[in-house]
Structure 1
Amino acid sequence: MAGDRASHDKYGLGRIIAVEQDVAVIVDFGTETYRIAAPYPKLVKL
């Protein structure tokens, strides 16, 4: 859900800024923003 914190093995801590309905999430990691496609490998919601 947008606004939730998440952790990624490669990119570190970030905040989910958008959700593309069961397709991908957009996560802001501070210095970079990444689109991570489902099934969201290495991404853990905190």
Structure 2
Amino acid sequence: MKQSAGSRRHLPSSPFNRPAQADPPVELFDVGDRVSHDQFGLGRVLAVEGDNDAVLIDFSGRQGRILSPYSKLTKL
């Protein structure tokens, strides 16, 4: 008799079939925050659009608009 996949127990050390985890909270930025982007480097937040849906950042004279969830952007 075959067991269904739902009745199998999960081994803590197994990298497969892990229970779904909640996404980490989206980082909130304010005007004037110093940030670092993986591709564009260091910058300063010039504007925040909507309810932190996007941020406009000055990267040493080059401006960029980064959309939420900001996976490559960190606050310094």
So what's the TM-score if we normalise by structure 2?
A: 0.58
Structure having the higher strand fraction is 1
How far apart, CA to CA, are the structure 1 residues paired with 2:35 and 2:56? 11
- Tell me what 1:31 maps to: 61
Give the length in aligned residue pairs: 46
How far apart, CA to CA, are the structure 2 residues paired with 1:28 and 1:40? 15
Give structure 2 stretches of 5+ with no counterpart: 1-29
- Tell me what 1:3 maps to: 32
Computing the radius of gyration over CA atoms, which structure comes out larger, 1 or 2?
A: 2
So what's the TM-score if we normalise by structure 1?
A: 0.92
Q: What is the CA-CA distance between 1:41 and the residue it aligns to?
A: 1.9
| RMSD value, Cα | 0.8
Give structure 1 stretches of 5+ with no counterpart: none
Higher relative contact order (CA 8 A, sep 6+): 1
Which of these residues, 52, 57, 70, is aligned with residue 22 of structure 1? 52
Q: Percent identity?
A: 54
Q: Which runs of 4+ in 1 moved over 2 A?
A: none
